[in-house]
Amino acid sequence: MRLRDATWTDVRDCETDLAVVPVGSTEQHGPHAPLGTDVVTAEAVADAGIERVDHEVACAPVIPIGVAEEHRQFPGTMWVSAETFRNYVREAVESLAHHGLDRVVLVNGHGGNVDALREVGGRITRDGDAYAVPFTWFEAVGEHSAEMGHGGPLETALLRHCAPELVREDRIDEARAGRAEGWGDWVSYSNLAYDAAEFTENGVVGDPQAGDERRGEELLELAGDALARLLEAVAERDVSRPERRE
C-alpha cells in the first residue's frame, strides 16, 4: 500500500503495523546521472523489497533531501543539516506510529544519510515511540558493495535498469574522464577531504562504464531480497526495550 495513492479509509482498514520510508537525496551524481539518483534508487529498492514479502507494508512517500553538504560545490545539490534531517525523519516516523504503523524500515539511497539515520533510529526506538531501523541498499549487495563509489558502477547500473531515460549515455566518456577512483583523500586512516570536490573533478567516483543494465538488475534483486529478509525480521521481532520486559 502506497500512502501517496491510498485513502485514509484504506489505512484505517489495514491490519499491518509495518511501514517503509524511502529516504533519498537531491545532489550531484556527475555529468551523466540525475540529481535525484538517490530518490529513484531508494524508491526502486523499497518497491522491490515490499513486493517480495507476504506481510502488508505501508510505503510512505520518499524523503527527497538529506545530509549532502559534501556535494555543495556542484550546482543543484540540496542539503539540510544532520539535526534538521534527524528531526524531520523522527517526526515523520512518529506520525506513522500515531496510526499504528510503528515498525518502520528507513530505506536509504545516500551514504551521507547513514550515520544520521542510525542515530535517529536508535533515538526513536529507545524513547519507545516506535521501532525504526535503517537499511542502505548499497551495503546489502554482497561483493558489489566494495565498488560503490558515487555516480559510479553501482548507481549507474541501477539507474540503467530502473530509469534508463535518466542516464545521459552520451556523457559517459566525460564522466569517466573526470572521475576519482576512490572516495576521499586518505592519510593515516584519516580522510583529509570534507567535500567531494576536493578529490573528484566532476563528482564521479568509480567507473560508470562498469555498471551495465544487467548488473543493475542483479543489484535490484540482491537489494530487494535483503530488504525482504529485513522486513520479515522486523515484523517478527520483539521490539520492546529489554528494561521494560518482565
Residues lying near Zn ion in the complex (CB under 5 A) are found at 37-38
In the complex, the smallest distance separating the C-beta of residue 38 from Zn ion, rounded to whole angstroms, is 4
In the complex, the smallest distance separating the C-beta of residue 202 from Zn ion, rounded to whole angstroms, is 14
Nearest residue to Zn ion by CB is 38
- Report how far residue 204's alpha carbon sits from residue 208's, in angstroms, rounded to the nearest whole number: 8
In the complex, the smallest distance separating the C-beta of residue 150 from Zn ion, rounded to whole angstroms, is 6
- Report how far residue 205's alpha carbon sits from residue 138's, in angstroms, rounded to the nearest whole number: 14
71 and 77 in contact (C-beta within 8 Å)? yes
Residue 1 burial (CB < 10 Å; 0-12/13-18/19+)?
A: middle
Other Cβ atoms within 10 Å of 58 Cβ, number: 23
Task: Name the residue nearer to Zn ion (CB basis): 29 or 86.
Answer: 29
Task: Name the residue nearer to Zn ion (CB basis): 102 or 203.
Answer: 203
Task: Name the residue nearer to Zn ion (CB basis): 38 or 102.
Answer: 38
- Report how far residue 129's alpha carbon sits from residue 239's, in angstroms, rounded to the nearest whole number: 11
Task: Name the residue nearer to Zn ion (CB basis): 18 or 36.
Answer: 36
In the complex, the smallest distance separating the C-beta of residue 32 from Zn ion, rounded to whole angstroms, is 13
Task: Name the residue nearer to Zn ion (CB basis): 131 or 138.
Answer: 138
In the complex, the smallest distance separating the C-beta of residue 66 from Zn ion, rounded to whole angstroms, is 10
In the complex, the smallest distance separating the C-beta of residue 134 from Zn ion, rounded to whole angstroms, is 15
105 and 236 in contact (C-beta within 8 Å)? no
In the complex, the smallest distance separating the C-beta of residue 41 from Zn ion, rounded to whole angstroms, is 7
- Report how far residue 231's alpha carbon sits from residue 84's, in angstroms, rounded to the nearest whole number: 27
Q: What share of the chain is helix, strand, coil (3-state, %, to 5)?
A: 50, 15, 40
Task: Name the residue nearer to Zn ion (CB basis): 24 or 121.
Answer: 24
C-alpha cell recorded at residue 208? 560508470
**Amino acid occupying residue 61:** P
- Report how far residue 39's alpha carbon sits from residue 14's, in angstroms, rounded to the nearest whole number: 27
For residue 160, give the 3-state DSSP assignment: helix
Between CA 194 and CA 230, with CA 112 as vertex, the angle to 5 degrees is 150
Task: Name the residue nearer to Zn ion (CB basis): 38 or 47.
Answer: 38
State the pairing for strand pair 186-187/190-191: antiparallel
